[in-house]
Homo-oligomer: A and B are copies of this chain.
């Protein structure tokens, strides 16, 4: 059997996954705001499917921490409290360190140039006005780093933690227009990786993360 046919099979996804991805993106992009209700019928109509795949998608979102369900009352987009943010950052700091240490040990040449190209993409994106592009380029850059650590479970966990913050960070990046420092930090991270200086990179990553906290914190406080 030819590879093309199998590729076709791969492109087929159950509706529950299509719905899941759709809702997930909507939440991460802020199209659906924290606290917003996820009504099954409503979503099903909107997406042109029945309630069944919508319900399954909600169960998945729930486990990812993007939705919260109260039995017999329904689901809503998860809100983050300040404490939640603090807790998430604490863990991310720790796992970023791990990722950097592992990346320094395990990274390949290809991955390093991938990182460089991701940085260029980011720099380019900051020159434009498209906030979504900027966010996505930044995410892509960091994704390369987590990939370099060659630990898929770590990647999954960190991505999940980052995802909790995205929808707030998007607003932050939208409000901010000084991307110079971010670009500089990315450059420093690459410099550190080239020298395989894990401690140096850890330090930059920490600052990088720290810089976002106050802004996200304020947005969370603004939440009703």
Residues of A within 8 A of B (CB): 12-14, 16-17, 52, 55-56, 59-60, 62-64, 71-72, 84, 87-88, 90-91, 94-95, 97-98, 102, 151-154, 157, 161
Output the least CB separation between A86 and chain B (Å): 8
Supply 14 A–B pairs (Cβ within 8 Å), ascending by A: A14-B72, A17-B71, A56-B59, A59-B59, A59-B60, A59-B63, A60-B62, A63-B63, A84-B153, A87-B151, A90-B102, A90-B151, A91-B153, A157-B157
Distance A52 CA – B14 CA, assembled complex (angstroms):
16
Distance A12 CA – B73 CA, assembled complex (angstroms):
13
Nearest chain-B residue to A161 (Cβ)? B153
Distance A63 CA – B161 CA, assembled complex (angstroms):
14
Q: Note all chain B residues with C-beta closer than 8 A to A88.
A: 153
Q: Note all chain B residues with C-beta closer than 8 A to A63.
A: 59-60, 63-64
Output the least CB separation between A162 and chain B (Å): 13
Output the least CB separation between A215 and chain B (Å): 20
Q: Note all chain B residues with C-beta closer than 8 A to A71.
A: 12-14, 17
**Is there contact, CB below 8 Å, between A90 and B60?**
no
Q: Note all chain B residues with C-beta closer than 8 A to A97.
A: 94
Q: Which of B55, B64, B72, B94 contacts A94 (CB 8 A)?
A: B94
Distance A48 CA – B133 CA, assembled complex (angstroms):
50
Distance A154 CA – B12 CA, assembled complex (angstroms):
35
Output the least CB separation between A124 and chain B (Å): 34
**Is there contact, CB below 8 Å, between B94 and A98?**
yes
With contact pairs A95-B91, A98-B91 given, residues A16 and B152 touching in the complex (Cβ less than 8 Å): no
Nearest chain-B residue to A97 (Cβ)? B94
Nearest chain-B residue to A90 (Cβ)? B151
Q: Note all chain B residues with C-beta closer than 8 A to A151.
A: 87, 90-91
Output the least CB separation between A21 and chain B (Å): 14
Distance A98 CA – B87 CA, assembled complex (angstroms):
11
Output the least CB separation between A152 and chain B (Å): 7
Output the least CB separation between A199 and chain B (Å): 15
